């Protein structure tokens, strides 16, 4: 009855929807309405996968990206297997979780190696990178051949858990197949989400162009750890041609997107090992049925990556708490947990509070005063994250740049920029000015419980049931980790819903506990099939509602056509008109991933590229632009106004329309034949620099 009540509440919640145009009636469809509409319009949704018949199709154009990604995954799998040999865990895990962890370990080592080599300035020396990776491969693999024909361990995880209905394992795989294929399909598509175009893939592109990983003066986000983005940077190093950066970015985006499927695989293996077959199935299906994870895969955002590593860091100590290991496995499990926690930290800073420290505390709970294991965990975390912290310390004087600017007096930013960053990322205020009101608390509690449109139908009721699972040694640590995620999100962040994504795999595993409890009854197993199947159907319908979720579903359209459709008109104009050797200065728009000519730009937290010319004379301005070969200036007043709006990030006050009017009157600039909006006050303007281009 509780699940039925939850479903009725879930379907009655309004969905986010585009604001009505003037004269239109506001329409806020509920999730139930969207699911019904999705069922009725399924043929139209399928047609949209093919571009609605208005775009060129393409499947063969994906083969190169898939091949490069496959090579990286195979290499990562080998590295993961080699390290498991070193950790004496080669035959410790089951089939599914073993495969997933091999990939996760290998991708961690690949990311770490790329970061270190890139920080050493070797991105323009692919031969040195090949040699370094070969040395790593041989060094880790030297002990592997000795294990090749070694007898398998007597401990088989599959035999330590009860089995229910093993003969019908095909049904859940078949039910999950449509969403799994959809997730893989959208993962390979060209990026379009703002944060991805502004820094997740733009910064690796710029590092590739300059040949080194460093903090860029024009993009503050380049100071953050970017462990996941290394999977896009590495293929850029080895590819040739003008579009090498785009192909490399698609490879990285595909690998990032596949972490949703890896999360489901690890949940299945972990659930099966810790609680039983039904627990594993339900945990995996619950994850596949969470629209937020599908959205992460389709956009290229990295929150789903550190969500996976959150679960992977917790899994080893859960095994120890469950008593499913021998004494000689404990060292390896501690190191493995530390590597996974360190990788989560190298993807996003908040993982320090959500993963690294809570998992360390739970290791203390699991092993008490076995300092050797705790030291191994700590060293493993430090090894993975240290390149990013050292890089930041050298470049900015602040190891966790751009955070904690007030803590480190050596931070390179002036006080006003530090304060601007802090204000933009503080806990949001209520209408009455408070940050921690009762209404905000209630909203914060309801958000992960289903109020969020993309939390998924299947997880919450099963997770609540999982709270009553009899094995408290496993339930309590999961609850502690979930609580840590929520406290950090609600108490210290700016409460964006997607920052709760790291909690999703933990919630899915807890849902597996609830499913295992229910599956002890015949009626319970029938109810589970219905509930999980309904969750998958609902998720499939919602992720295809493009007006609401803003997910590009055109999985069969040509990659080139999709990239062009995601390129703004201004950037397209610049790509077509800027002469070789000339550069573009952009202000306002920082999402310039698709810009092909050399560009100078800034995020709203960096010094404006235009501020340097505010107090210059005409001659000084001409000389300044000529020195950098700047022949075009692109101004996006719409973005500038957005940043200056109340409660937004802010933008330098001295960048004004009058400044550009003055430069026009001086004969420094003239308007090109591209602008958008009101001719008197255009939203977008492109100027030619007369000293370079001529009148």
Instruction: Tokens for 147, please give them.
Output: 């294990």
**Band of pLDDT at residue 21, cut at 50, 70 and 90:** very low
Q: How many domains does the chain have?
A: 2
Residue 409, domain member (yes or no): no
Please say whether the beta carbons of 269 and 507 come within 8 A: no
Of 189-193, 213-217, 537-541, 624-628, least confident by mean pLDDT is 537-541
Please say whether the beta carbons of 191 and 566 come within 8 A: yes
Whether 328 shows a pLDDT value over 60: the answer reads yes
Coil, strand or helix at 557 = strand
Tell whether 192 and 267 lie within a shared domain.
yes
Of 220-229, 387-396, 493-502, 538-547, least confident by mean pLDDT is 538-547
**In sequence order, what DSSP letters do the residues of 104-138 get, joined into one string?**
HHHHHHHHHHHHHHHHTT-TT-HHHHHHHHHHHHH
Tell whether 536 and 572 lie within a shared domain.
no
Q: Residue 668 sits in which domain range?
A: 567-689
Residue 52, domain member (yes or no): no
Tell whether 473 and 583 lie within a shared domain.
no
- Rounded Cα distance, 200 and 195, in Å: 6
Residue 389, domain member (yes or no): yes
**Band of pLDDT at residue 692, cut at 50, 70 and 90:** low
Whether 155 shows a pLDDT value over 70: the answer reads no
Nearest to 10 by CA among 29, 26, 32: 32
- Rounded Cα distance, 427 and 415, in Å: 20
Nearest to 425 by CA among 500, 493, 489: 493
Q: Is 650 left (phi over 0), alpha (psi -120 to 50) or beta?
A: left
Tell whether 522 and 623 lie within a shared domain.
no
The pTM assigned to this predicted structure is 0.93
Whether 564 shows a pLDDT value over 90: the answer reads yes
Tell whether 509 and 651 lie within a shared domain.
no
Nearest to 409 by CA among 396, 422, 426: 396
- Rounded Cα distance, 687 and 674, in Å: 9
Please say whether the beta carbons of 263 and 315 come within 8 A: no
Block residue for tokens 């006080």: 415
pLDDT the model gives residue 497: 87
Which H or E element spans position 635?
strand 630-636
Residue 271, domain member (yes or no): yes
Please say whether the beta carbons of 551 and 299 come within 8 A: yes
Tell whether 509 and 576 lie within a shared domain.
no
More confident residue, 194 or 327: 194
Q: What is the pLDDT of residues 525-543, one digit of tens each?
A: 999 999 999 999 989 988 8
Whether 158 shows a pLDDT value over 70: the answer reads no
- Rounded Cα distance, 690 and 148, in Å: 69
- Rounded Cα distance, 527 and 1, in Å: 11
pLDDT the model gives residue 160: 44
Coil, strand or helix at 31 = helix
Residue 24, domain member (yes or no): no
Residue 555, domain member (yes or no): no
Residue 420, domain member (yes or no): no
Q: What angle (nearest 5°) sits at the alpha carbon of residue 100, between those of residues 97 and 102?
A: 105
Tell whether 583 and 531 lie within a shared domain.
no
Tell whether 241 and 309 lie within a shared domain.
yes
- Rounded Cα distance, 476 and 573, in Å: 57
Among the candidates 522, 549, 576, a domain finishes at 549
Q: What is the pLDDT of residues 623-655, one digit of tens each?
A: 999 999 999 999 999 999 999 998 889 998 889
Q: What is the CATH number of the domain that holds 600?
A: 3.40.50
For 461, phi then psi, to 5°, come to: -60, -40
CA neighbours within 13 Å on the CB side: how many for 62?
20
Q: What angle (nearest 5°) sits at the alpha carbon of residue 166, between those of residues 163 and 172?
A: 115
Coil, strand or helix at 333 = helix
Number of H helices, E strands in the chain: 33, 5
**Rounded mean pLDDT, 170-186:** 92
* Helix, strand, coil percent values for the chain (each to nearest 5): 65, 5, 30
Average pLDDT, the chain: 89
More confident residue, 455 or 80: 80
- Rounded Cα distance, 566 and 201, in Å: 14
**Rounded mean pLDDT, 434-457:** 84
Q: What is the pLDDT of residues 93-145, one digit of tens each?
A: 999 999 999 999 999 999 999 999 999 999 999 999 999 999 999 999 887 76
**Band of pLDDT at residue 331, cut at 50, 70 and 90:** very high
Whether 84 shows a pLDDT value over 80: the answer reads yes
Of 395-409, 427-441, 639-653, 677-691, least confident by mean pLDDT is 427-441
Please say whether the beta carbons of 191 and 204 come within 8 A: no
For 559, phi then psi, to 5°, come to: -60, -40
Q: What angle (nearest 5°) sits at the alpha carbon of residue 19, between those of residues 18 and 24?
A: 115
Whether 597 shows a pLDDT value over 90: the answer reads yes
**Rounded mean pLDDT, 2-15:** 62
Q: Please list the residues that pair with 14 across neighbouring strands.
A: 30
Tell whether 389 and 470 lie within a shared domain.
yes
Of 46-55, 190-199, 245-254, least confident by mean pLDDT is 46-55
Instruction: Tokens for 338, please give them.
Output: 């530390």
Tell whether 517 and 579 lie within a shared domain.
no
Block residue for tokens 């949001």: 428
pLDDT the model gives residue 165: 44
Kindly tell me the burial class for residue 64, based on how many C-beta atoms sit within 10 Å of its own C-beta (0-12, 13-18, 19 or more): middle
Please say whether the beta carbons of 118 and 222 come within 8 A: no
Tell whether 572 and 544 lie within a shared domain.
no
Sign of CA dihedral 299, 301, 306, 307: negative
CA 293 to each of CA 5, 281, 326: distance values in angstroms, whole numbers, following the listed order: 25, 17, 35
Among the candidates 516, 549, 582, a domain finishes at 549
Tell whether 197 and 239 lie within a shared domain.
yes
Instruction: Tokens for 310, please give them.
Output: 């959150």
Residue 559, domain member (yes or no): no
Whether 166 shows a pLDDT value over 50: the answer reads no
Among the candidates 521, 549, 577, a domain finishes at 549
Which H or E element spans position 534?
helix 522-543
């Amino acid at each position: 009855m509780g699940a039925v009540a939850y479903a009725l509440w879930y379907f009655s919640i309004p969905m986010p929807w585009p604001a009505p145009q003037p004269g239109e009636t506001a329409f806020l469809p509920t999730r139930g309405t969207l699911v019904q509409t999705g069922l009725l319009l399924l043929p139209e949704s399928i047609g949209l996968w093919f571009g609605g018949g208005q775009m060129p199709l393409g499947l063969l154009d994906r083969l190169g990206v898939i091949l490069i990604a496959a090579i990286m995954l195979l290499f990562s799998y080998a590295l993961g297997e080699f390290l498991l040999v070193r950790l004496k865990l080669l035959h410790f895990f089951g089939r599914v979780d073993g495969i997933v962890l091999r990939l996760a370990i290998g991708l961690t080592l690949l990311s770490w190696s790329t970061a270190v080599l890139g920080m050493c300035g070797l991105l323009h020396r692919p031969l040195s990178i090949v040699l370094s990776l070969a040395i790593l491969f041989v060094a880790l693999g030297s002990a592997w051949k000795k294990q090749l024909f070694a007898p398998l361990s007597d401990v088989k995880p599959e035999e330590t858990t009860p089995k229910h209905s093993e003969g019908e394992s095909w049904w859940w795989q078949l039910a999950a197949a449509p969403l799994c294929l959809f997730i893989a399909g959208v993962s390979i598509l060209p990026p379009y989400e703002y944060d991805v175009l502004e820094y997740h893939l733009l910064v690796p592109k710029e590092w590739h162009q300059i040949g080194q990983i460093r903090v860029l003066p024009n993009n503050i986000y380049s100071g953050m750890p970017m462990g996941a983005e290394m999977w896009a940077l590495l293929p850029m190093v080895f590819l040739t041609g003008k579009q090498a950066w785009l192909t490399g970015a698609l490879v990285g985006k595909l690998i990032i997107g596949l972490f949703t499927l890896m999360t489901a695989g690890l949940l299945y293996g972990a659930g099966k090992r810790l609680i039983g077959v039904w627990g594993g199935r339900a945990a995996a299906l619950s994850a596949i049925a969470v629209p937020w994870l599908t959205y992460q895969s389709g956009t290229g955002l990295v929150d789903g990556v550190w969500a996976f590593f959150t679960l992977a860091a917790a899994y080893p100590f859960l095994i120890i708490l469950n008593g499913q290991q021998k004494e000689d496995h404990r060292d390896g499990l501690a190191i493995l947990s530390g590597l996974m926690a360190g990788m989560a930290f190298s993807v996003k800073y908040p993982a320090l509070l959500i993963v690294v420290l809570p998992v360390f505390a739970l290791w203390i709970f699991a092993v008490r005063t076995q300092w050797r294991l705790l030291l191994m965990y700590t060293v493993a975390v430090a090894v993975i994250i240290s390149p990013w912290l050292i890089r930041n310390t050298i470049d900015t004087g602040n190891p966790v740049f751009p955070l904690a600017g007030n803590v480190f007096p050596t931070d390179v930013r002036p006080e006003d920029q530090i304060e601007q960053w802090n204000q933009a990322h503080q806990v949001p205020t209520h209408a009455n000015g408070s940050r921690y009101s009762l209404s905000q608390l209630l909203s914060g509690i309801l958000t992960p419980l289903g109020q969020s449109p993309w939390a998924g139908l299947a997880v919450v009721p099963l997770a609540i049931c999982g709270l009553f699972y009899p094995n408290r040694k496993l339930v309590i640590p999961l609850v502690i980790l979930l609580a840590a995620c929520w406290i950090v999100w609600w108490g210290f962040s700016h409460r964006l819903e997607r920052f709760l994504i790291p909690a999703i795999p933990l919630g899915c595993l807890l849902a597996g506990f609830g499913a295992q409890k229910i599956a002890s009854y015949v009626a319970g197993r029938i109810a589970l099939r219905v509930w999980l199947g309904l969750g998958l159907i609902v998720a499939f319908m919602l992720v295809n509602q493009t007006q609401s979720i803003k997910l590009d579903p055109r999985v069969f359209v040509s990659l080139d056509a999709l990239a062009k459709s995601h390129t703004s008109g201004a950037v397209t104009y610049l790509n077509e008109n800027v002469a070789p050797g000339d550069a573009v200065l952009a202000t306002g728009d920082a999402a310039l991933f698709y810009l092909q000519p050399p560009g100078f730009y800034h995020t709203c937290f960096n010094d404006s590229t235009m501020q340097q010319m505010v107090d210059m004379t005409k001659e000084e301005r001409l000389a300044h632009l000529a020195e950098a070969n700047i022949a075009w200036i692109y101004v996006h007043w719409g973005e500038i106004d957005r940043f200056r709006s109340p409660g937004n990030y802010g933008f330098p006050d001295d960048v004004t329309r009058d400044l550009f009017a003055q430069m026009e009157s001086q004969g420094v600039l003239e308007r090109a034949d591209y602008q958008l909006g009101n001719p008197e006050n255009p939203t977008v303007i492109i100027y030619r620099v007369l000293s370079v281009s001529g009148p």
